[in-house]
Structure 1
């Protein structure tokens, strides 16, 4: 089924600027639907002359009459004359009767979408007439303001040509709170939630009859953060988005200038939302993330210190066997340190494994290869991101396999190649490590990896692959010579 972008992209009558205008319309028209307690439908004329639904918007303030998704479907036959009237006359049109959708009585109003004197489509406002019974002051103010915004569509005033957006834009809804300003910026009506927002800010007394800019700036202190866009919102003269962060509260705001065909700009709608607790939690999360990153950084530093001590001890020992064991221990500690280094640079507990494993394996090769040897490593596929719970043991498994291949598979050879192939689907991970070395007999004993000294490398590989990952590992001869190791694993904490 075609979506909104596909429908307007395939319309040969539209230029890029027309499509951009329609995108702005559907990104902002939720405020009209919520204020009007009505659903909205955008209709465009297809290349073959038929009228199809390009997009729809359900009101979040009343029960919707749009039970089905109509996008891509032709409009009902009884709506065609009114749509054609809106297209040709370029003014708001109405049916001469109410429609019945099931058992619901619906009033349809049609507004042509006009940009630079060109009709791009028609917005149909479908109102459930049951919502027009027993309305109070709040509902009446909403409906009147929604009508003013709806009437701005054929004037080419909605959506707005330009909107000044703050660095931290919030998604505001009518239900969060709003006020209606006069052309001079005086509050004519404030919803209960808007009043609550300003009480949180420290404003007392009535809001109606006072300048919005004045009562707001009177409660801004010297150290409060005041964005440049705030003045545009408070005056209501421009479409703008802003956020005021004071010592008492944090308010997100957005202004919608209101225009009349005769008098021009004659007021504004300003939405408010109290985001104090949201911003407080964001600060707490940032502090937590910074603390976790610092912990990983310090763990990395401590592990590097241990690695340096092992390296120093290896240089001082006279026993070749002890030196080799200390070098193996130093390499393993460095591997774990590298994982914590990756975790210290992210805001969460995951690490991009593809960025750390190449350097780790290169380091393992450099340590294990003999003087004059040149061993190359190649990767096929990607590991992706994974938490430390998986990244640490997996990095140890791979470094042990690569070290084993270099020490035993390429013994007595000047060069060689190691290929690591990866296949990942969700938490399933298949890894194949191949080398073109001396063959299976040189790298395994009784189907297990050889390892220097105590055989700790074999224990590490089997423990993590079988016990931690619940996987299997197979050693096979490689076609053309060398060894092929196949591992099938289940990542425990895959994202």
Structure 2
């Protein structure tokens, strides 16, 4: 199993963090053993960065039986419409066992999907097992019933086309019924419009489908009973699905369904471009902020009055806190920030910059919470001020201390608790008048987040709490 390839695909096509990618690789390392033991094709799919689809990050074909797949599908998208069980598992975190599915190579399989979760219990991917259905194990009467159903389907479709049924016009795809030689027997209204869009006018029933839709010439419609493929023709993109219709084991014709995906693919392309532009903007903002921080450091090294050094350092920390938000946004391309990632980045930076004679530890716990970028910037400044306040003032006369940061979401309210085991805050701190930092915290919490801020002494130090409401989708 090529774990390097798995890591590369995860980093390129998903929003998974490094610990989650390591978790995926841990499962991928056992994939071949699982495939051989289960005598099944086994895959790992992860939610794709763009859209609601998934991407195949690992695959193992069984060495103990025949494989269902002749080619590797690693790196390919698994579209929600064709892999509903995978999408459901990613959305709900629940397994789907022994579901019937059709592979992209047109084979009917039993598919089982179980979620892969990280240490926080979030679903980061799915383990998929596909086995061929052994028709020989079915009772004979079931086999006959299925064959008759297939024949009845073909007969019904032929009969409905002869009656010019309006049912086919309700289908949101171009539907063609062609005979075994590829001649068009019937076409619904969407099919007629498609042929017209491809530059052919007039009656085409009784003519070759390949003459009207030249992009079909690259597809073998006779090789598989059920077939699906996405093809391109000029600037257009189509999905082509076909079902071979039989009667008495003789081919009656082919049901052909074609959908124009050009607009959808163009929107996906525009979203990708937009995402790339947004990432680049955040990257440049981060670089500009880091340049400002570098200028401040340069000025501090060249010499500033002793009483001004603390003010320079506070300004430097605030700039770096905002830069950390834009750095996260530049990596994800999204307009949301993972709260734990942001807070941990800020907290570790402040503790590492603390006075060397102080041995300060910091820990982070809580829920995986996503915040819009505007709220994230405000909260980054708030967290910076509160942790900085603990680092500077909580451990006076102490050589070591502990700061604990806890982030929870209760209903539609986010709560950030920052607690230390220092000497405790002064009474004036509770009124937020003791420092510029606490005034900034109060202003940002009330005006930017429409929330509440409190800071109180505890039995073993000080606890600051910031609470604010978020929307249902957060």
| Structure showing greater Rg | 1
SS of residue in 2 equivalent to 1:370:
coil
Structure 1 436/198 Cα, relative in aligned 2: closer, same or farther at 3 Å? same
- Structure 1 length as normaliser, TM-score? 0.61
> 1:297 maps to what in 2?
283
Question: Superposed, which structure 2 residues align to 1:59-74 within 5 Å?
Answer: none
> 1:445 maps to what in 2?
428
SS of residue in 1 equivalent to 2:213:
helix
> 1:255 maps to what in 2?
242
Most deviating of 418-427 and 401-410: 418-427
Question: Superposed, which structure 2 residues align to 1:68-467 within 5 Å?
Answer: 112=145, 137-139=163-165, 174-217=171-214, 231-232=219-220, 234-235=221-222, 237-260=224-247, 262-367=248-353, 369-425=354-410, 427-441=412-426, 445-448=428-431, 455-467=435-447
SS of residue in 2 equivalent to 1:344:
helix
**1:243·1:251 contact (CA, 8 Å) conserved in 2?**
yes
Report how many aligned residue pairs link the two structures: 339
Structure 1 326/245 Cα, relative in aligned 2: closer, same or farther at 3 Å? same
- Structure 2 length as normaliser, TM-score? 0.63
Distance 2:229 2:255 in 1: 14
Distance 2:166 2:473 in 1: 52
> 2:74 maps to what in 1?
none
Deviation at 1:406, TM superposition (A): 0.9
Deviation at 1:237, TM superposition (A): 4.1
SS of residue in 2 equivalent to 1:208:
coil
Runs in 1 of length 4+ with deviation above 6 angstroms?
A: none
Distance 1:235 1:215 in 2: 18
Deviation at 1:214, TM superposition (A): 4.7
Deviation at 1:182, TM superposition (A): 1.2
Deviation at 1:296, TM superposition (A): 1.1
Distance 1:312 1:264 in 2: 83
Distance 2:224 2:102 in 1: 19
Alignment pair present for 1:487 and 2:466: yes
**1:432·1:485 contact (CA, 8 Å) conserved in 2?**
yes
Distance 1:349 1:242 in 2: 34
User: After superposition, what is the alpha-carbon deviation per residue over 1:355-400, rounded to whole angstroms, capped at 9, x for unaligned?
Assistant: 2220111101222x21132211112212511111110111111111
Distance 1:292 1:140 in 2: 47
Distance 1:294 1:349 in 2: 13
Deviation at 1:340, TM superposition (A): 0.9
Most deviating of 343-352 and 134-143: 134-143
Structure 1 421/237 Cα, relative in aligned 2: closer, same or farther at 3 Å? closer
**1:201·1:249 contact (CA, 8 Å) conserved in 2?**
no
SS of residue in 1 equivalent to 2:334:
coil
Deviation at 1:492, TM superposition (A): 7.2
RMSD: 3.6
Alignment gaps of 5+ in structure 1 = 6-15, 29-86, 93-111, 116-121, 126-133, 144-172, 221-229
Correspondent of 1:471 among 427, 451, 460: 451
Alignment gaps of 5+ in structure 2 = 1-84, 86-95, 107-138, 153-159
